[in-house]
Amino acid sequence: MNSAKVGSTSVGYAYNSDGVRTEKTVNGVKTSYLLDGSTIIAQKAGNDVLWFLYDSDGTRVGFTYNGTAYFYTT
């Protein structure tokens, strides 16, 4: 795990054997990432889970949270 502390903020990161980030911890709150290869499919922090949505080209276009879909705009 790589970690740093700036002021009162402590941040740590964990990576898999391919160098893809699998966890982030900020001030003791852990966020875990569910991967398909190097693509983040979901992230979980506590009881909150975001499922990411991708188009047919593999571009992330949004996410679902508590059963509601949200889409990015450009």
| Domain locations along the chain | 2-71
Does residue 50 register a pLDDT over 90?
A: yes
**DSSP of 24-41, one letter per residue?**
EEETTEEEEEEEETTEEE
At residue 36, the pLDDT reads: 94
pLDDT, tens only, 15-41: 999 999 999 999 999 999 999 998 999
| pLDDT digits 0-9 by tens, 53-69 | 999 999 999 999 988 99
Please say if the pLDDT value at position 1 is more than 80: no
What is the widest separation between alpha-carbon atoms in the chain? 43
pLDDT (average), residues 6-21: 94
